[in-house]
Amino acid sequence: MSAPGRKIGGVVLDVQNISLRFGGVKALTDISFNVREHEIRAIIGPNGAGKSSMLNCINGVYQPQEGSIALRGQTFKHMNSRQVAEMGVARTFQNLALFKGMSVVDNIMTGRNLKMKSNIFQQAIRWGAAQREEDQHRAFVEHIIDFLEIQPYRKTAVGKMPYGLQKRVDLGRALAMEPQVLLLDEPMAGMNVEEKQDMSRFILDVNDEFGTTIVLIEHDMGVVMDISDRVVVLDYGKKIGDGTPHEVRNNADVISAYLGTSH
């Protein structure tokens, strides 16, 4: 179901032999996979498989004990989320982590933070350049708001919005960063069928219109198989499958992980 005209390029994100332990608990063991430019790459697996841990490693929240992660050939180790953000990686959160007291516009505007050049004193007196800059970013944010079809909620405090729409704001804030790689942590968790369809459409549109490379986590196999180009399957912190949705669906290990096997 990949969009026409969309060209999958070379490797953007290369994950090599990642192992992550919390004390004695092995969250991830020797995981390797790569993500190609403009691709939609899914990481799936049952609950507790280590999907979120994997995403948090890429995002710099966790530092894996072994292995390396390279973004466009640049290896990063011991980076925090802010530094990873500066390298062009944005993310959304499984349990919404929006700024609840702030309006939709303000939430998405925070995503422009890294693009802002004016300093605190120029902002304080709203001096020419700072004002122009604010206006430019505001225009970009309005574009995202249109794109995600949340115009009527522009000034609403996000804490008061329905859950499905809050998920869109979360996506909008990440898009405002104009990321090269977008990490989506269970973008459809807790949604009903219609909301899931909307979200799938937005993900495909982002990929298509902005050419953003997307890595997404889901445990709902159905949706993922429809929209992703390639799928990594994790179970108990180990990689048990990697390939196109079709290949993965017919992989014996994957089937047993999801359905259980008779031994």
Partner 1 sequence: MGAFLETLIGGLMTGMLYSLVALGFVLIYKASGVFNFAQGAMVLFAALAMARLSAWIPRGLGIDSKLAGNLLGFFGAALLMIAVAWLIERLCLSKLVNQEGITLLMATLGVSYFLDGAGQMVFGSDIYKIDLGMPKDPIFLFEKVFQGGILVNEEDLYAALIAAALVAVLALFFQKTSTGRALRAVADDHQAAQSIGIPLNRIWVIVWSVAGIVALVAGMIWGSKLGVQFSLSLIALKALPVVILGGLTSVPGAIIGGLLIGVGEKLSEIYIGPKLGGGIEIWFAYVMALVFLLVRPQGLFGEKIIDRV
**Residue closer to partner 1, measured from CB, 49 or 177:** 177
What whole-number distance in Å separates Cα of residue 142 and Cα of residue 150? 10
Nearer to partner 1, 157 or 255 (CB): 157
| Min CB(228)–partner 1 separation in Å | 22
State the amino acid at position 95 in one-letter form: N
> Whole-number minimum distance, CB 80 to partner 1, in Å?
7
Q: How far is the CB of 118 from partner 1 (least distance, A)?
A: 8
CB of 115 or CB of 201, closer to partner 1: 115
List residues near partner 1 by CB under 8 A: 59, 61, 80-82, 85-86, 90-91, 93, 97-102, 106-107, 109-114, 116, 118, 120, 123-124, 126, 134, 137, 173-174, 176-177
Strands in 66-71's sheet, in edge-to-edge order, are 25-36, 11-22, 66-71, 74-76
**CA-CA distance, 248 to 225, in Å (whole number)?**
9
The CB-of-173 to partner 1 minimum distance in angstroms stands at 6
- The CA distance from 39 to 200, in Å, is 15
CB 104 within 8 Å of CB 150: yes
Burial readout 132-143 (b: 16 or more C-beta within 10 A, e: otherwise): ebbeebeebbee
**Between 111 and 187, whose beta carbon lies closer to partner 1?**
111
